Amino acid sequence: MNVGIVGYGAYIPRLRLSRKAVVEANAWFAPQPSRSKGTRSMTNWDEDSITMAVAAARDCLGAMDRTTVRAVLLASATLPFAERLNAGVVAGALDLDESVAALDLTGSQTAALSGFAQAAALAAVGSGPVLLTAADARRTRAASSSELDYGDGAAAFLLGKDRPIAEILAQASITVDFVDRFRLAGQDIDYHWEERWVRDEGISKIMPRAVAQALAQSGVEAARVDRFIFPSTFAKVDAVLAKKCGIAPEAVVANLADTIGDTGVAHGLLLLAQVLETASPGQVIVLAQFGSGAQVLVLRVTERIKSFKPRLGVARWLDRGVIENSYTRFLVYKDQLQVERGMRGEQDKKTALTTAYRHHRAILGLVAGRCSVTGQVHYPPSRYSYTQGAPALDTQEPYPLAERQGTVLSWSAEFLSFHLSPPHQYGQIDFDGGGRILMDFTDVAQGDIATGTRVEMVFRIKDTDEVRGFKRYFWKATPVPGQPAPERT
């Protein structure tokens, strides 16, 4: 049985930075009035490539039985940890079985398509589907073109042998050390070579060879391609490339440059996820990406495409966007502008790695304990059930909370403690089915939270130990979209 796509998902951060705000702020130094249209996606202060990969994976997996997933791959050029298995954190947040394999992929803009080939190979020889995630949250220099071109986002695909919604017809690679950009280890910002050289000598000569090779392997003529995806920050280069390859101009997929920008390693898969949301059986999709050579993927949509829908999908993530007009907020969230934290912000954020390991499932997976005698839910879980009047020992069973919604019981919004998105909002959450946790709120403005507000869980950065270079992750609550505005008394 052939391996194919059995599920897909995506994630786009809520905040959309206004390009006009960026252009106006930098007009004194680098006037770019023609670049002031549209927005680009930007991460909140508590988001990075790991948290976005988790969000995209949840969009893909939905309510499926996650114990069937046999491997997790994370492709990114902005992995938070140089030495820690980033994909392992993703697996923990998704509460996957500990027997799952995990792998980080990086080093090129084509890392996600390289990961696609590896995921397909693992799914072909394994006993279950393989989850491929891709995410990027790149830093740029202020007033640069990249600052306007880039965006933050993620995508996730589940590859397997059981009833694929899109079958893999061919994959092709050309590996050549054509350096269009580079970033030395330890550096945060990549360096770009001249656009005309990259476009005319790199993309225009290398990519057609790779596309032709993939189409020849698939047995599909270029004129029969229904959708052509080629992410690039160069205007209209996708249409020029399609013409060189003999692909019809109407097949070229819009690259979302005006709304979210280019999300780096993740962008090709994110566009593929968007295409699959409206794809029809029999359509042929070609996804090509450039970087240290070329990678090309050819897919054919099957009749089963109608049987799968992501939890939200690209269209609904786009609808959730909120315009951000503060350029300084963007710089602070990208750690490019230091703000005064005050004495209350001077804290040692050292993480007890022993405790983090002993309670890793409760912390990363938000797994509580449910007493098999009383039915009450306890968080954090423990051997001792402390139900009043009915104490019990070793009666708790694992009870995941991350996919459950909850209701705000009590809340606070205060400016006393240091917080990168003041006021600091937190409160007691009563989970559907039982369980109560004091949690931070995220992706909220003043007035969004009240007693009775319905919330859902998101995986985010809890805090950062800047002395030792360690990030700590946990879950936060955010309002369920579409609910009525909270009433205050």
Each domain of the chain, given as residue ranges in start order, spans: 4-333, 401-489
DSSP H or E stretch at residue 429: strand 424-431
CATH number of 401-489: 2.40.50.840
pLDDT of residue 1: 56
Establish how many alpha carbons lie within 13 A of residue 203's alpha carbon, considering only the half-sphere containing its beta carbon: 28
Lowest mean pLDDT among 82-86, 129-133, 385-389: 385-389
CA 378 from chain centre, in angstroms, equals 30
φ, ψ (nearest 5 deg) of residue 394: 60, 45
Mean pLDDT computed over 156-169: 96
Q: Is the pLDDT of residue 12 over 70?
A: yes
- pLDDT per residue as tens digits for the range 264-276: 999 999 999 999 9
- pLDDT per residue as tens digits for the range 451-464: 999 999 999 999 99
pLDDT of residue 345: 82
Per cent of the chain over pLDDT 70 is 99
Give dist(CA 307, CA 302) in Å, integer.
10
- pLDDT per residue as tens digits for the range 228-258: 999 999 999 999 999 999 999 999 999 999 9
CATH superfamily of 4-333: Thiolase/Chalcone synthase (3.40.47.10)
Give dist(CA 324, CA 314) in Å, integer.
20
- pLDDT per residue as tens digits for the range 398-410: 999 999 999 999 9
Confidence band of 285 (pLDDT split at 50, 70, 90): very high
pLDDT of residue 175: 96
Task: For residue 93, count other CB atoms closer than 10 A to its CB.
Answer: 24
Give dist(CA 34, CA 189) in Å, integer.
24
Lowest mean pLDDT among 68-72, 324-328, 340-344, 437-441: 340-344
Give dist(CA 155, CA 35) in Å, integer.
27
Confidence band of 153 (pLDDT split at 50, 70, 90): very high
Dihedral sign for Cα 124, 125, 131, 133, please.
Answer: negative
The DSSP line for 272-335 is HHHHHHT--TT-EEEEEEESSEEEEEEEEE-GGGGG---SSHHHHHHHT-EEE--HHHHHHHTT
Averaged pLDDT of the chain: 95
Mean pLDDT computed over 424-428: 97
**Taking a C-beta distance cutoff of 8 angstroms, is the pair 237, 180 a contact?**
no
DSSP three-state, residue 455: strand
The DSSP line for 115-161 is HHHHHHHHHHHSSS-EEEEEEE-----TT-HHHHHB--EEEEEEEES
Give dist(CA 396, CA 386) in Å, integer.
11
Closest CA to 56 of 112, 115, 11, 113: 11
φ, ψ (nearest 5 deg) of residue 85: -75, 100
pLDDT of residue 386: 82
Residue 95, Ramachandran bin (φ over 0: left; ψ between -120 and 50: alpha; else beta): left
Q: Is the pLDDT of residue 486 over 70?
A: no
Domains 4-333 and 401-489 share a fold: no
Confidence band of 482 (pLDDT split at 50, 70, 90): confident
- pLDDT per residue as tens digits for the range 178-235: 999 999 998 999 999 999 999 999 999 999 999 999 999 999 999 999 999 999 999 9
pLDDT of residue 343: 83
Q: Is the pLDDT of residue 489 over 60?
A: no
pLDDT of residue 388: 82
Give dist(CA 278, CA 56) in Å, integer.
18
- pLDDT per residue as tens digits for the range 51-67: 999 999 999 999 999 99
The more confident residue out of 61 and 485 is: 61
